[in-house]
Chains A and B, each alone.
Chain A
């Protein structure tokens, strides 16, 4: 094999290589230009993410496995990689003005986001336990750092430390589970594990599976591994919170789905029970615990816990239809989250960010457009038709019913009704309470993001076919 063909063999991993090399080049730029060039470096990071997105979109269809079957590119991976890139780029766009105004300009911020995104892409493509673990760590380590990037603020450093300690614990559990699975099957490869557990699994393997799932649940903040979420979301700088709520969840759900469906198809019944429990617990906690919240970032944390529960309803079905539901749900979730955080990042009064729900009071009179967009996003998060959020819930519940999980579907619908209460109470504060003083001028980019995601959310029902078609094709590539 000559050099040219061996380089061509690397074609499927080209987006990741571009991202890794680009991140290192930008790191050099950040080191030599210093923090004065922070905005410039962060803008280049956004452009790089868009470029990598184009590379991913241009990849040919079909399934390619590389590096001893450790890295796989298929329709599922391409779909979720694009979604992750949207989440990361969106969060970076939201961060540009915030970092300038809060004087948090660190040239390395964007580079760390790029490296975390690289980890997510590797995690989405991971097809064995080693690649899974390495991708997960490459994703998590930059997250710990940027959670405490406002290092002079006690809450931000507390958020980073809490996230780090609990993240290390969950990584330990995941590794323990992975080692048990390796011990009982003799292989780390997902296809090999699937072959070994064809005829059912012993209790030792199930034990390992539980630990593996515990690690996944921590990363997507599903109950009972959600404790860190409200504190970290509240303490981290707001654009970082937006990033946490969007991109890493996509990658976490991706590996959760891939590991369950590809590595353990022989024992679907066993892992289904775990996913059903986690899903019900997350939906219920997300619905009830958010009611008493006064801080909108904490509220979004509980909301995201609940949404992960809804997404897992689709996985619990264990069918291609269910995975399709998960993909649609996650896409809509990322859009709604970025739109909502664009509004939260517009809440600035007298030069300081405000983040209480009461600060939104009477916004319909001071900022009618923003109030309308936020109201629509909140209705969508609650799952009110004909907004996008309704379609997400519709497809996961449909899959659950077709798989015979009636109890799960009924509990899901009930908890989304309870959840609607706190979303609607924010709408009430905005439209019927006495107006608070107006916010400062909204930065152009943040306003643009709000309009784009808010409008997409409203008009999605007119033309849902492209997303649903893409999700169907992506889900089929796993089965």
Chain B
């Protein structure tokens, strides 16, 4: 019991601290690394609650794919974050005020926390005993929650269409790679042996035009 409590507070404290560092650190690469740390700690909390599947998904999807993608984007885009944050200080008083109000409200919310007697019975899909939680998710995801699953798929489709519509430029006069043409090339097409006679050299025009022809 005490060990569980110790680990809970360990994960929770590191999670909150690293979440704070995500927004506080000056270097955006550090921010992303703190974000990864936050994800890993959240996964630890999931494991402690007995949701191993969610924990693994969090690590695989968020740490393995999303955060690494962020890291690449941050490193490739040359955005001067320090400059972006320059004016942020003047909004500090207003931000502190709003944050303070939110904190007070949250304290009120948590202070009034009471779970009614009927609520635990209202849970729509309790985990059946005797199977793992991965199995339990699998049992409801494509049956009871298939509607939500399908809409989520449509949303991803929209995201894909949107990204392509907004970023794909069809430029004329651009040279594209033709993989089939490259694969069809043989040594005979790619090079030829030329006998160079002494003192006469090569007709440079002839060679360069033939080279261009075989390379295309």
Residues of A within 8 A of B (CB): 20, 24, 27, 66-68, 70-71, 106, 108, 111-112, 115, 118-119, 122, 130-131, 134-135, 137-138, 141-142, 144-145, 148-149, 151, 160, 180, 184-189, 192, 195-196, 202-204, 207
Contact of B147 among A24, A67, A106, A145 (CB under 8 A): A67
Is B159 a contact of A141 with CB atoms below 8 Å?
yes
Is B109 a contact of A70 with CB atoms below 8 Å?
no
Interface string of B97-112 (1 = CB under 8 A from A): 0000000010011101
Interface string of B113-150 (1 = CB under 8 A from A): 11110111011100000000000000000001111100
Is B162 a contact of A130 with CB atoms below 8 Å?
no
Is A145 a contact of B162 with CB atoms below 8 Å?
yes
Is B155 a contact of A138 with CB atoms below 8 Å?
yes
A204 to B105 Cα, complex, angstroms: 9
Smallest distance from the beta carbon of B145 to chain A beta carbons, Å? 8
Does more than half of chain A's interface fall in helix, strand or loop, or is it mixed? helix
Is B122 a contact of A112 with CB atoms below 8 Å?
no
Contacts of A137 in B (CB 8 A): 155
Is B152 a contact of A187 with CB atoms below 8 Å?
no
Residues of B within 8 A of A (CB): 105, 108-110, 112-116, 118-120, 122-124, 144-148, 151-152, 154-155, 157-159, 161-162, 164-166
Other A-B contacts than A187-B123, A187-B124, A203-B109, 19 sampled, CB-CB below 8 A, are: A67-B144, A67-B148, A68-B147, A108-B164, A112-B161, A119-B154, A122-B151, A137-B155, A141-B155, A141-B162, A142-B161, A142-B162, A145-B158, A185-B119, A186-B118, A195-B118, A203-B112, A204-B108, A207-B105
Contact of B155 among A67, A112, A134, A202 (CB under 8 A): A134
- Known contacts being A137-B155, A145-B166, is A196 close to B161, with CB within 8 Å? no
Is B151 a contact of A135 with CB atoms below 8 Å?
yes
Smallest distance from the beta carbon of A23 to chain B beta carbons, Å? 9
Is A27 a contact of B109 with CB atoms below 8 Å?
no
Residue of A nearest to B147 (CB): A67
A206 to B109 Cα, complex, angstroms: 9
Is A138 a contact of B109 with CB atoms below 8 Å?
no
In this complex, the member of B110, B112, B115, B155 whose beta carbon has the largest number of chain A beta carbons within 10 angstroms is B155
Contacts of B112 in A (CB 8 A): 202-204
Contact of A180 among B109, B116, B120, B152 (CB under 8 A): B109
A302 to B122 Cα, complex, angstroms: 44
Smallest distance from the beta carbon of A309 to chain B beta carbons, Å? 25
Smallest distance from the beta carbon of A98 to chain B beta carbons, Å? 17
Is B115 a contact of A186 with CB atoms below 8 Å?
yes
